[in-house]
Amino acid sequence: MNTVADWDPRSPDMQTDPIGAYDVMRQRCPFAHSDALQLSVLRHADVMRVLMDPETFSNQASRRVSVPNSMDPPEHGLYRSIIEPYFDAMRMAQFAPLCEALCEKLVMQLPMDDEIELMSALAHPFSLQMQCAFLGWPDTMHQPLHQWVRHKNAAVLSGDHDDLAAVAAEFDETIRTLLTSRREAGDEAPDDATTRLMRETVGGRPLTEAEIVNILRNWTVGELGTMASSVGIIADYLATHPQLQQDLRDQPSLIGAANDEILRIHAPLISNRRRATRPVCLGTETLQAGDRLSVIWASANRDEAVFGDPDEFRLDRDPALNLLYGAGIHACPGAPLARLELRAIIETLLSQTIGIARIPGRPPSADTYPSSGYCTVPLHITRRLPKPTTAAPAQPRLQLRCA
């Protein structure tokens, strides 16, 4: 495979307008080489070919095993069958009331009529509180998790494998402490997703602690950064499209589909890795067994050959074409949870406000690779006045008569 670099996804030029840069790369060089991502696959059809052929394009492409993301069949299916019930319709229905209550609390803490920086005021607290609530983790985990995500992204950006290993070890130790406390509690341990996961079996044996920690790390990595990015992307899009903002207030049943379409236009997740298991031709490229490649969601979901004008917002698109949550056997099992949480926070934000707008002269600032979306989103919000509480029936006044 050709190893001459065509681009650097970490370069300053790429960070200024990453989505626009991926559009240019897709037109100029749909198979692009870089030190960071090896062969990048940018067109929708080529990405779909990779996703739908796991025998040729293996998920075992990372230095660290990720359960079940970096596994192939049949091992992948064994672990996937354990994980999927955590995101089924029953579990989502059970979690929905808590999810909606947390969203209302977060939005009601925003100022009534003022400027905010949405990422720090809402997006990051939202992703941290939702993750801890779903897994049953204490609120004291919010800040350590936020710092951990920052450390992980910095290590990925630098490409320092020692730093990445240290960040992973730091997270693992934190989770082991939580698991130890549940074991010590015995039957008194909280009945939450973490405790239930500790009781799972695979192939007739209990999950090992390393496997439990790995699954929890995988869920957390996939949740925190992308969910915060998603909230920032959607809120800024609505701020620049006031008619859509009002339409969704009037028809909240459309919010879920609108979220998916906005995140197709501006991806919250850049890429995933694969590894060729045999010699194979992919478009103009010839790969050998062991060659690594990356599917670029942020490009494939904007491919003109599939979506026409990639910036056109439409709710009548075929949802199967949207790769927001992947496709094939490795499609994101947590998609139902992500959709529930995003629908709840955006519906709450819209129902509790009468206006969301950008602040003149203060556009959002793009986040840096490997993150997508924005690191800051300055907005002006105008919250609805709280509804007056129904007063108790007035008691008849004592009538005084004057002589």
Summarised one tens digit per residue, pLDDT across range 191-223 is 999 999 999 999 999 999 999 999 998 888 767
Residue 1: predicted pLDDT: 54
Q: Note the pLDDT tens digit of each residue in 295-323.
A: 999 999 999 999 999 999 999 999 999 99
Q: What is the mean pLDDT of residues 256-283?
A: 96
Give the DSSP H/E element, type plus range, for residue 365: strand 365-366
Q: Note the pLDDT tens digit of each residue in 61-79.
A: 877 778 998 999 999 999 9
pLDDT-based confidence at 114, cuts 50/70/90? very high
Q: Using the Cα atoms of residue 114, residue 119, residue 124 and residue 127 in order, give the sign of their dihedral.
A: positive
Q: What is the mean pLDDT of residues 12-29?
A: 89
Residue 221: predicted pLDDT: 75
Is the pLDDT confidence value at 397 over 60? no
Is the pLDDT confidence value at 151 over 80? no
Is the pLDDT confidence value at 399 over 60? no
> Is the separation of the CB atoms in 234 and 19 below 8 Å?
no
Q: Which stretch of 43-52, 145-154, 251-260, 319-328 has the lowest confidence by average pLDDT?
A: 145-154
Residue 158: predicted pLDDT: 63
Which three-class secondary structure state does DSSP give residue 372?
coil
Q: Crossing angle of helices 142-158/161-185, nearest 10°?
A: 160
Structure tokens at 303: 């491919």
Q: What is the mean pLDDT of residues 21-30?
A: 92
What's the full length of the chain, in residues?
403
Is the pLDDT confidence value at 398 over 70? no
Is the pLDDT confidence value at 260 over 60? yes
pLDDT-based confidence at 272, cuts 50/70/90? very high
353-358 and 378-383 strand pairing: antiparallel
The CATH classification number of 73-269+319-383 equals 1.10.630.10
Residue 322: predicted pLDDT: 98
> Is the separation of the CB atoms in 182 and 193 below 8 Å?
no
pLDDT-based confidence at 395, cuts 50/70/90? very low
- Cα distances from 13 to residues 2, 31, 302, 370, in angstroms, run 23, 19, 20, 14
pLDDT-based confidence at 392, cuts 50/70/90? very low
Structure tokens at 139: 């609120």
Assessment of whether the complete model's pTM goes beyond 0.85: yes
User: What is d(CA 296, CA 9) in angstroms, rounded to the nearest whole number?
Assistant: 11
Please report, for the chain, the start and end positions of each structural domain, with discontinuous segments joined by +: 73-269+319-383
Q: Which residue has the tokens 């199967």?
A: 320
User: What is d(CA 213, CA 209) in angstroms, rounded to the nearest whole number?
Assistant: 6
User: What is d(CA 271, CA 372) in angstroms, rounded to the nearest whole number?
Assistant: 10
pLDDT-based confidence at 225, cuts 50/70/90? confident
Single-letter amino acid, residue 389:
T
- For the chain, what is the mean pLDDT? 90
pLDDT greater at residue 374 or residue 14: 374
pLDDT-based confidence at 157, cuts 50/70/90? low
Structure tokens at 350: 């819209």
Is the pLDDT confidence value at 251 over 90? yes
Residue 152: predicted pLDDT: 66
Residue 13: predicted pLDDT: 80
pLDDT-based confidence at 3, cuts 50/70/90? low
- What percent of the chain has pLDDT above 90? 74
User: What is d(CA 263, CA 92) in angstroms, rounded to the nearest whole number?
Assistant: 21
Q: Which residue has the tokens 């130890």?
A: 180
Single-letter amino acid, residue 196:
R
Residue 403: predicted pLDDT: 28
